[in-house]
Structure 1
Amino acid sequence: MFSRLGRGQRRLRFKALARRVAAARPPWPKRAAGGSENRLARLLRRSRRRLRRLPGVKRLGGLRRLPGVRRLGGLRRLRPHYPRRGRTGWRRWLPSPRQIIMTFTWALLALVTLVGWAYEHTAIPTDLNAYATQQDNVYYWADGTEMARVGPVDRQAMPLDRIPTSVQSAVLAAENASFYSDPGVSPKGITRAVATMATGGETQGGSTITQQYVKNVYLNQDQTVSRKISEIFIAIKLDRKMSKQQILDGYLNTSWFGRGAYGVQRAAKAYYGEDVSQLNPSQAAFLAALLKGAGEYDPSMSAANHQRAVDRWSWVLDRMVKTGKLSAAQRATYTKFPEPIAPPRPVGLSGQTGYLVDTARAYISAHSGISDQQFDLGGYQIYTTFQKPKVDALAAAVKKRLGTLDPAGRPADRDVRVGAASVATDGRILAIYGGPDYIKQGFDDADISIVPAGTTYAPFVYAAGLRDGVVRDRDAPRAAVSPSSPYDGDDKVPIQTPEGPYWSRDGKVVKTANAGGRSYGKIPLGKAVADGVNGPVTQLGMDVGLNQVRQASVDAGLLPDSGFAEQIPDFSLGTSTPSPIRMADGYATFAAGGTHTDPYSVLRVTLKGSQMPLKSPAVTHPFTPKVAGEVDDALHDAVGTGAGAGHAVAQAGPGLAGLPGTAPDDTSASFVGYDQEMATAVTLFRIDPKSQLLEPLTGIGGRSKKKPGSDYPTDIWTRYMAAVRPPGDPRPGATPATS
């Protein structure tokens, strides 16, 4: 019927057909039961079948608007079928533009509906975040009594009209230049931040100041999608509820600037010791730089931090020029970085308390999931391992002995310092002496790693030999040694290696050097350690291997990075520089029968009554009880029948073990020893306050060159142990003396 008609004629016929269909009134003609169709119904059905076979029917979408045409089944199938007719190649599989538009429209409508629903159901919280109830962190002694309260809780809010315009402008330039015009959020800012970070450039924060204020006051610092969505919706609502001035006021008074400072007023005090109203634009730019992350921009923390702070400070000033808040002429006057003052120390930390607090806080930082920012908010109760009677007794013993020095009359008595620590056999740090007063000297000499251990290092060499054996000939297997193994104790004996004599870099054979040039002949190894004979200890280190010696000391408790010296023969004489805490911990391993526990200073941490997760100290067994017992025997002999300063230690009571020592260059003197409960290390040294270099102890206290202050640590150790030990405290396993 239509096959020989042209396109125009078909269109006319279709229109005529449409008019005829429209003229037909419902109901649709149906075949009567048992009857025959009328002529019009038959015509329509035949036409519909032929219309389905025509390729042009899909283009007649306009006919669907005509009355009645929508009933033609062929015209209702407007969605494309795959592969699509009339297309070739890959285009046969593409959706039509209409499909794409409709899909996008429906998706957009669904998204708008979802966002609207979420916005409507997100309310501004009525309770403030933890900062609003900031508290002190309270530290407790081991017996549960209060030791110290730390944390500035006298947060001083500063009204916006008292905060200089330069400070406000610096913050806006660094964080949100469009603050006064945006609706609380900035999609453009977020997009720009992501794009700039992808190219490695400097960025403003992706969040607006309103969003950051919401995060500070109502939410938390978690980096989650749900938190970010809540932040955006609350920011939009808050922007409609509060004025921009109120939001900026709240933001400047709640933001974290590091050094325990929340709010711009406390930040000004912490970094410049001044009221915020006294800051100049250069100082304001630095404080604004801290908002990006105080932990990375506080110059006092590291050289890398300092460089980042300078770069960020310069960028903030340039941003202020770009935003019209600072003229180019003013910017040209600020070329020198405004160096902040040293971090102020909290009050109430005088004496030894500050050193104890620093030790405990460092342990929490390394062994818990509490960030510095969370910790500065306060509210934590820290229960430490420190025992007040021992801390007081150790400080008193040091003060008593150093009181005999005459800095005004003897130059050798000047700049004398002492570091000391007591560590229990189970790893608890019981007491430390970090310096005369934390307020006057902030660095902790109990945790310093610049002072040579001296001959107190010998037990680690001895333990390595007993555990690992020795190699005296090339390619020979390791051979065992024992306390009775004979060694040459004479002075100036050439040091041997499996390849022959040890030669120094200047082409000379290295020889042993006993204290005072004394010779002992053949001497059992255990007795050589007890009597402090350097020659056998030096040779033993070469026989065992200095790598094995170093590993044995690390296994005992010394840190792998605790200032290990060059591995030459003198290495066994204590040229390395472990801290007093680590030396005490190493000796505690021998007192514990070869079991080592990492030293720790915190028993538990609680917040609002809930105990916070804290990693348990690691426990290892680096030495067998037999090896530890043989080292223990030598150290007991050193204070019982041994020669030198160690003999005086017996005055503190029975059951003591330990060893005195001096550095090869006489820059330090030490005594490290223990009883059945704890090990204690005492180190004496001099340090030039200008160069920060160690100075010889020669002449200290009017002593001769043969005795350069080596009795000072021994005397301090003895006084301390006599004060803290119960009378007649016996050695484990020994029979108490009877009268």
Structure 2
Amino acid sequence: MGRAEERQARQRGARRAVRGRPSGGGKPKRTGIRRFFTWKKLLGTFFGLILLGMGAFVVLYLVIDIPEGNAAAKRQSNVYKYSDGTILARDGKVNREIVDLDKVPEGVQKTFVAAENKSFYKDQGVDFKGTARGVLNTLTGKGKQGGSTITQQYVKNYYLTQDQTVSRKLKELVISLKVDREKSKDDILAGYINTSYYGRDAYGIQAAAQAYYGVDAKKLDVEQGAYLAALLQAPSQYDWQAATQTGKKLVKARWNYVLDNMVEEGWLDSGKREAMKFPVPEDPKALPGREGQIGYLVDEAKREVLRNSGLSEAEFAAGGYTITLNIDPKKQKQLEKAVDKKLNDKLDRKKNKADARVQAGAASVDPKTGKVLAMYGGENYVKHYTNNATRRDYQSASTFKPLILAAALENGATTQDGKPITASTVYDGTSGRPVKGSEVGFAPPNEDHVDYGPVTVQKAMNKSINSVFAQMGVDVGMPKVMEMAGKLGMDVKGLPAVPAQTLGSMGASPLEMAGVYATLDNHGKKVTPALVASIEHKDRTVDLPDPIGDQVVKRGTADALTSVLTGVVDDGTGHAVRNSVQDVAGKTGTSDDNKSAWFTGYTPKLVTSVGLFGEGAPGTPEQNKQVSMKGAGGLPRVDGGSFPAEIWAAYTFDAMGAPSEFDLDTRMGAAIAPPPEPTPKDSKEPSSTPSKPEKDPSSKPPTQSPSSEPPTQSPSSKPPTQSPSSKPPTDEPDPTHTIEIPEDPDDRGPSRD
């Protein structure tokens, strides 16, 4: 090779070097970011991190020891106070009795393993995957994460806290591994079932067995054990006596899940499993110191705290909280006194079967603040555990009728012939008249089957005429009526929008109805009754929602309803609460076969709902069933204008303070000027033709207080909420409660609810 050729070769090699390629034809060199990320380097980094994590875990394992058990030592009492700061109750005594595992039947032991951790007898005490998922969710703010083993839950309950933090989860992991090595599986299982919280203030399986089935743990059977094991997932939600329909479905599904897992693991014979029936728990028993109204107030305060505060049951049960209620102790005593004087003192529950069936509930709310100032849950918490002020299993009856008119006014609804619906609109009040314009047949009778003929809406409200409001509901549109009920605070989720709902066939509680009417009293701004005023703890701040919400209906709509409802008191079924110096609005209600009776009424400063409920007496075949109150207190029937109205008047006129007047922004209703009675000319089209407009509509209406007479003894009559006399088509959705045509006994009084 000549010099020229050697020179050219060297130049070619240089150019290759510049481009990053070796002159000898080897692999090209990596440049830029590729020099730092190679498969070897990535794998090396990955395994390095694993080794680093393992090393860190080893350090944690060496550093973290099993601590002394601290759950019992740190547990504190919760203190409940009245609004004036006086002590209502304490719940500091932990209801727990530790039992050895050999005192718990083996089948019952297996129910907890089947419910929470099927691999318990085989694992090393931890679920690495579940723990990693929980740590990741905590870091990313996705909330709490389950998946812990029985050992981990025991460690959390007995050695640590309920805090959802990364450090606590890592400690739980390490301690669980050590506990699993140092303790037997039986010891760990015993610790778990003895430290867990089961609801009803029961800690541990022995207390739970007594609270739910009235037996010692050693006498539990597998069905009962499966329920207690299922209960641990959500004690309040799954408590059968307090659960919603959804809660009952969920706990039954969980119960079945537990038993099916036992069969799968070979711990239960499939034939025995098929024969098992769900073991309905006993009614809860009152704790010492919960006599009278105290137990009702404390229980409802607990529920409200858990519903509104964001605290878990375990966090709240750990104690250290001061819960101040809105209950005014003076008004509370006044309400109790009114119920005793106007009802309990007139009943002989021991000798009279009808008297023994009557249960009373009441709630009183400040419409401007939403505070629950007084609540009556029943004769005695120790004798009757269910809170009658918050129960929702009885029909709201005719107290629902104002909501139909509210929907009409809010939506500018018209009658079948296009006339606007107001207090002056004339309807046909004929009993049993089939509604017009509905695909669902409905023809409800009036109380005592009275035919009123053409009547104004005002008079129909005063006399609680079923046929008028059934037609009005169809005119407005039942979906809009149900929507209005929801806006005002009733729970209408899942209920069918059918004409039968106009009779108040849905369930409601006195506390719920007090909130509905308080929203009307508050000129349409939503009022959600609040029993709890504040929650204090030395280590944290707990915020509660504002009881006063947004404007859910127009002020004109709310004020028009108030004006109309003064007519019920002045010239209708609520005349027992008339007062010559105080403005009063309200509505009576009585349900099918006299199973419930209501009066919900208000002044500008106070809203109170009183409900009486027919419930089968303890020790009788009809125990806990809904029954008629006919004959109670010596009355042919108990209607809304009798005991409920009398209780309302006795309490309200004692508790309200100085008389006050409604400030109404409306031009219709009895508080302004009663509409004229229909003329014979009106009767041609009574179902929809409105009456003549009120005189001088341009003038500002005066705000008058109802002027008549002091409260008088109410009549003994029954205002109905009955069913149609004709069956609807077969494709009609069934209403939530059965509506029946009322009986027509000769002893019924003249007034109608």
Tell whether the structures are fold-level matches, with TM greater than 0.5: yes
Q: How much identity, in percent, do the aligned residues show? A: 33
Contact 1:286–1:313 (CA under 8 A) maintained in structure 2: no
Cα drift, residue 356 of structure 1 = 1.8
Q: Greater shift after overlay, 384-393 or 684-693?
A: 684-693
Q: Distance in 1 between matches of 2:116 and 2:422?
A: 69
Q: Could you say which residue in structure 2 is the equivalent of 1:487?
A: 426
Cα drift, residue 460 of structure 1 = 1.9
Q: Distance in 1 between matches of 2:130 and 2:522?
A: 61
Q: Could you say which residue in structure 1 is the equivalent of 2:251?
A: 305
Matches within 5 A, 1:152-163: 152-153=93-94, 155-158=96-99
Q: Distance in 1 between matches of 2:704 and 2:237?
A: 59
Q: Could you say which residue in structure 2 is the equivalent of 1:597?
A: 527
Task: Check 1:630–1:129 CA distance in 2 against 1; reply closer, same or farther (3 A cut).
Answer: same
Q: Letter of the 2:171 partner, please give it.
A: S
Alignment partner of 1:138 is 2:65 = no
Contact 1:151–1:260 (CA under 8 A) maintained in structure 2: no
Tell me the alpha carbon deviations over residues 491-537 of structure 1, each in whole angstroms, 9 at most, x when there is no partner: 3495664x5xx69749xxx4773666253x65543344345455544
Q: Could you say which residue in structure 2 is the equivalent of 1:557?
A: 489
Q: Could you say which residue in structure 2 is the equivalent of 1:18?
A: none
Contact 1:124–1:238 (CA under 8 A) maintained in structure 2: no
Contact 1:290–1:298 (CA under 8 A) maintained in structure 2: yes
Matches within 5 A, 1:340-359: 341-342=281-282, 343-359=284-300
Q: Letter of the 2:525 partner, please give it.
A: T
Cα drift, residue 286 of structure 1 = 6.9
Q: Distance in 2 between matches of 1:672 and 1:310?
A: 43
- The DSSP-based 3-state class of the residue aligned with 1:635 is helix
Matches within 5 A, 1:312-391: 312-313=258-259, 315-316=261-262, 339=279, 341-342=281-282, 343-391=284-332
Q: Distance in 2 between matches of 1:595 and 1:422?
A: 18
Tell me the alpha carbon deviations over residues 625-679 of structure 1, each in whole angstroms, 9 at most, x when there is no partner: 3332222222223323x144x2231259522222333336544332111112221
Which of 385, 397, 407 aligns to 1:464? It is 407
Which of 43, 49, 58 aligns to 1:116? It is 58
Tell me the alpha carbon deviations over residues 55-84 of structure 1, each in whole angstroms, 9 at most, x when there is no partner: 9xx9xxxxxxxxxxxxxxxxxxxxx8789x
Cα drift, residue 138 of structure 1 = 2.0
Q: Could you say which residue in structure 2 is the equivalent of 1:17?
A: none
Cα drift, residue 272 of structure 1 = 4.8
Matches within 5 A, 1:317-716: 339=279, 341-342=281-282, 343-400=284-341, 401-406=343-348, 412-425=354-367, 426-473=369-416, 480-483=420-423, 485-488=424-427, 491-492=430-431, 494=433, 497=436, 499=437, 505=441, 510=443, 513=446, 517=450, 519=452, 523-561=455-493, 567-568=498-499, 571-608=501-538, 610-617=540-547, 619-640=549-570, 642-644=571-573, 646-651=574-579, 654-663=582-591, 666-688=594-616, 690=621, 694-704=626-636, 710-716=641-647
Task: Check 1:383–1:130 CA distance in 2 against 1; reply closer, same or farther (3 A cut).
Answer: farther
Q: Distance in 2 between matches of 1:658 and 1:703?
A: 22
Q: Letter of the 2:364 partner, please give it.
A: S
Q: Distance in 2 between matches of 1:406 and 1:431?
A: 25
Contact 2:595–2:614 (CA under 8 A) maintained in structure 1: yes
Q: Distance in 2 between matches of 1:165 and 1:409?
A: 48
Contact 1:170–1:320 (CA under 8 A) maintained in structure 2: no
Contact 1:584–1:681 (CA under 8 A) maintained in structure 2: yes
Q: Distance in 1 between matches of 2:544 and 2:514?
A: 23
Q: Distance in 2 between matches of 1:637 and 1:369?
A: 44
- The DSSP-based 3-state class of the residue aligned with 1:347 is coil
TM-score, length-scaled by structure 1: 0.69
Q: Distance in 2 between matches of 1:533 and 1:178?
A: 65
Q: Distance in 1 between matches of 2:314 and 2:495?
A: 34
Q: Distance in 1 between matches of 2:64 and 2:86?
A: 44
- The DSSP-based 3-state class of the residue aligned with 1:550 is helix
Q: Letter of the 2:161 partner, please give it.
A: N
Cα drift, residue 487 of structure 1 = 1.0
Structure 2 unaligned blocks of 5 or more: 1-21, 31-36, 133-145, 664-702, 708-753
- The DSSP-based 3-state class of the residue aligned with 2:389 is helix
- Rg bigger for which structure? 1
Cα drift, residue 180 of structure 1 = 9.4
Which of 152, 155, 158 aligns to 1:214? It is 155
Which of 201, 206, 209 aligns to 1:260? It is 201
Q: Letter of the 1:513 partner, please give it.
A: N
Q: Distance in 2 between matches of 1:567 and 1:329?
A: 48
Contact 1:697–1:708 (CA under 8 A) maintained in structure 2: no
Contact 1:565–1:576 (CA under 8 A) maintained in structure 2: no
Q: Distance in 1 between matches of 2:120 and 2:68?
A: 25
Cα drift, residue 174 of structure 1 = 7.8
Q: Letter of the 1:309 partner, please give it.
A: W
Task: Check 1:138–1:657 CA distance in 2 against 1; reply closer, same or farther (3 A cut).
Answer: same
Q: Distance in 1 between matches of 2:362 and 2:531?
A: 15
Q: Distance in 1 between matches of 2:444 and 2:191?
A: 72
Task: Check 1:589–1:491 CA distance in 2 against 1; reply closer, same or farther (3 A cut).
Answer: same
Q: Distance in 2 between matches of 1:237 and 1:438?
A: 46
Q: Letter of the 2:480 partner, please give it.
A: Q
Q: Distance in 2 between matches of 1:434 and 1:410?
A: 22
Contact 2:524–2:557 (CA under 8 A) maintained in structure 1: yes
Q: Could you say which residue in structure 2 is the equivalent of 1:9?
A: none
Task: Check 1:639–1:709 CA distance in 2 against 1; reply closer, same or farther (3 A cut).
Answer: closer
Cα drift, residue 619 of structure 1 = 0.9
Contact 1:259–1:270 (CA under 8 A) maintained in structure 2: yes
Tell me the alpha carbon deviations over residues 572-615 of structure 1, each in whole angstroms, 9 at most, x when there is no partner: 34333322222222221222222222222211112236431323
Task: Check 1:628–1:687 CA distance in 2 against 1; reply closer, same or farther (3 A cut).
Answer: same
Tell me the alpha carbon deviations over residues 465-507 of structure 1, each in whole angstroms, 9 at most, x when there is no partner: 3322233357x6xx54443x2414653495664x5xx69749x
Task: Check 1:242–1:480 CA distance in 2 against 1; reply closer, same or farther (3 A cut).
Answer: same
More helix by share: 1
Contact 1:129–1:217 (CA under 8 A) maintained in structure 2: yes
- Root mean square deviation of aligned Cα: 4.8
Q: Greater shift after overlay, 163-172 or 695-704?
A: 163-172
Q: Distance in 2 between matches of 1:170 and 1:133?
A: 29
Contact 1:700–1:709 (CA under 8 A) maintained in structure 2: no
Q: Letter of the 1:725 partner, please give it.
A: M
Q: Could you say which residue in structure 1 is the equivalent of 2:696?
A: none
- The DSSP-based 3-state class of the residue aligned with 2:405 is helix
Cα drift, residue 711 of structure 1 = 1.5
Task: Check 1:141–1:187 CA distance in 2 against 1; reply closer, same or farther (3 A cut).
Answer: closer
Which fold has the larger relative contact order, with Cα–Cα distance below 8 Å and residues 6 or more apart in sequence?
2
Q: Could you say which residue in structure 2 is the equivalent of 1:721?
A: 652
- The DSSP-based 3-state class of the residue aligned with 1:261 is coil
Alignment partner of 1:233 is 2:165 = no
Tell me the alpha carbon deviations over residues 257-306 of structure 1, each in whole angstroms, 9 at most, x when there is no partner: 44433344434444554555666788777766766776787676524423
Contact 2:433–2:467 (CA under 8 A) maintained in structure 1: no
Contact 2:70–2:158 (CA under 8 A) maintained in structure 1: yes
Q: Letter of the 1:544 partner, please give it.
A: V
